[in-house]
């Protein structure tokens, strides 16, 4: 069993009368890709927003390593080691690839808001940015303005930015959304490489990719967890089959 990077316990989120997330507990381990799947409206996106801090839970706790981050704002969670990529690519479109990633490295540097001296002088930031760009497969594209990149490359850029913040856990919200076959292959290979030394939590609709990537699965329905475990266990779980096939598809 690997060390737990992120643990959520009994998370609840209500929007008015609707319980979008009910009593969800999840452990994400270092060295593993943990996929969250479920039908539309199951609460997957709400869960990822609760974990990253864009939404606050009505009840429950979130632990990042040994730190209780339940009350932390998103920027503080990021500084504590939580990185996230969005469903809709979220980058700085007018800046170069290098500046995008350098900003990410700056956010985790020792003096992120220094007012004296230009950004050029922080060679450590530049080195970490260059490393992250290389790891995400964008070497040679670092001077390109981000909005000139292809959709797939923008995804890679977003992952490079997350890498440059040196996270302990990475949250990926539908990283393959709107992507062609060949582009998707590259991103899948990139995601597979992210788990080395880190934990990865991924929400994804592409089941082939999920079963290819995931070391562990959590299945959600109507805001609650209906199954969690290894992929082969989950695949044959009666409640999961019922959720995906409908109630009348009697499980053999």
Report the alpha-carbon distance of residue 200 to residue 53 in Å, rounded: 17
Which residue, 95 or 244, has its beta carbon nearer to another protein?
95
Q: How far is CA 247 from CA 74, 79, 151, in A?
A: 39, 44, 38
Cα–Cα dist 8/83, whole Å? 16
Q: How far is the CB of 84 from another protein (least distance, A)?
A: 5
Where do contacts with another protein occur on this chain (CB under 8 A)? 52, 54, 73-76, 78-79, 83-84, 86, 90-95, 99, 103-104, 106-109, 111-119, 122, 161, 165
Residue 163's closest CA among 214, 108, 212, 124?
108
Residue 219 Cβ vs another protein, minimum distance, rounded to whole Å: 26
Q: Which is nearer to another protein, 84 or 198 (CB)?
A: 84
Report the SS3 class of residue 136: coil
| Closest separation in Å from C-beta 47 to another protein | 16
Judged by CB, which is closer to another protein: 56, or 249?
A: 56
Residue whose CB is less far from another protein, 108 or 235: 108
At closest approach, how far in Å is the CB of 74 from another protein?
5
CB nearer another protein, residue 78 or residue 243: 78
Q: DSSP letter at 73?
A: -
What is the side-by-side strand order in the sheet with 67-68? 18-29, 4-15, 59-64, 67-68
Taking the complex as a whole, how short is the minimal distance between the CB of residue 79 and another protein, in angstroms?
A: 4
User: What separation in angstroms does the CA of 196 have from each of 2, 116, 190?
Assistant: 12, 36, 11
């Amino acid at each position: 069993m690997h060390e737990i990077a992120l643990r959520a316990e009994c998370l609840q989120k209500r929007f008015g009368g609707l319980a979008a997330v009910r009593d969800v507990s999840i452990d994400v381990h270092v060295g593993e890709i943990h996929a969250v799947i479920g039908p539309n409206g199951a609460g997957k996106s709400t869960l990822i927003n609760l974990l990253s801090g864009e939404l606050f839970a009505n009840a429950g706790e979130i632990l990042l390593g040994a730190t209780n981050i339940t009350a932390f704002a998103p920027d503080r969670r990021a500084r504590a080691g939580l990185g996230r990529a969005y469903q809709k690519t979220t980058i700085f479109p007018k800046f170069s690839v290098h500046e995008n990633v350098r900003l990410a490295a700056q956010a985790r540097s020792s003096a992120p808001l220094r007012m004296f001296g230009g950004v050029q002088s922080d060679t450590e930031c530049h080195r970490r940015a260059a490393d992250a760009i290389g790891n995400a497969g964008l070497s040679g594209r670092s001077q390109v303005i981000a909005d000139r990149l292809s959709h797939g490359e923008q995804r890679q850029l977003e992952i490079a930015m997350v890498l440059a913040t040196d996270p302990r856990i990475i949250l990926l919200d539908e990283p393959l959304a709107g992507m062609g076959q060949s582009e998707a292959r590259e991103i899948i290979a990139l995601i597979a490489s992210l788990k080395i030394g880190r934990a990865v939590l991924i929400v994804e609709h592409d089941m082939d990719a999920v079963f290819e990537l995931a070391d562990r699965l959590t299945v959600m329905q109507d805001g609650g967890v209906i199954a969690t475990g290894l992929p082969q266990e989950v695949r044959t779980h009666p409640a999961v089959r019922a959720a995906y096939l409908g109630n009348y598809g009697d499980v053999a």
